[in-house]
Amino acid sequence: MRWILIVLSALILVACTTPEQERRKKLKADRAARAKQKASSGEGGAERPAQPKPKPRPLSDTIQLQVRDADLATEVLPLFEQEVGVSIRWSGPPKSITLSMQSPIAWQEALDMLKQFCDARTLSEVEGTITLAPRQKKKLPSAR
């Protein structure tokens, strides 16, 4: 009889520890998953490679500008980013511009108009940022 009680006690003990062991395994797996997530988000010590920024979605399709003797790089182009969510940079010398639009127009048309007035061209479009630069003057061949 004593032998049966010992065996039953052992079985009960095993049955009680199995869920505890399962709980410990789950906690360990959860900690490992959190550590992996932390490392991939850059919070841990490991650095992950830089990923390109997603191209920003325009906030609005149209823009209406009214500026007078405003600096292109520091006043006008930041208005584009504020109004339509498109990041535009100027890589030329400082340039002042006066522009008055009577009604909203598509921001692409406004940008084309701006490039025409400033005699500029699109230098690059990288990771959602448009870079403008002055047009290069064509040299005429010299007559000899």
At 24, is the secondary structure helix, strand, or coil?
A: helix
Mean pLDDT by runs of 10 across the 144 residues of the chain is 59 54 72 76 53 56 87 89 87 88 88 88 86 78 62
Query: Hey, which residues does 130 pair with through a beta bridge?
Result: 88, 125
- pLDDT at 65 (0 to 100): 84
Burial (CB < 10 A; 0-12, 13-18, 19+), residue 85, is: middle
Domain count, the chain: 2
- Please state, in angstroms and rounded to a whole number, the distance separating the CA atoms of residues 131 and 17: 65
Burial (CB < 10 A; 0-12, 13-18, 19+), residue 80, is: buried
Write down the residue that tokens 């010590």 correspond to. Answer: 45
Q: Say if 56 falls within a structural domain.
A: no
- pLDDT at 3 (0 to 100): 59
Q: Say if 51 falls within a structural domain.
A: no
Q: Which two tokens stand for residue 34?
A: 């959190």
Q: Say if 140 falls within a structural domain.
A: no
Indicate whether this model's pTM tops 0.75.
no
Q: Say if 139 falls within a structural domain.
A: no
Relative to beta strand 120-126, strand 105-106 is unpaired
Structural domain of residue 32, as residue ranges?
1-42
- pLDDT at 58 (0 to 100): 54
DSSP, res 19: H
- pLDDT at 80 (0 to 100): 83
Residue 89: other Cβ atoms inside 10 A: 15
Q: Say if 143 falls within a structural domain.
A: no
| CATH number of the domain where residue 66 is located | 3.55.50.30
- pLDDT at 8 (0 to 100): 55
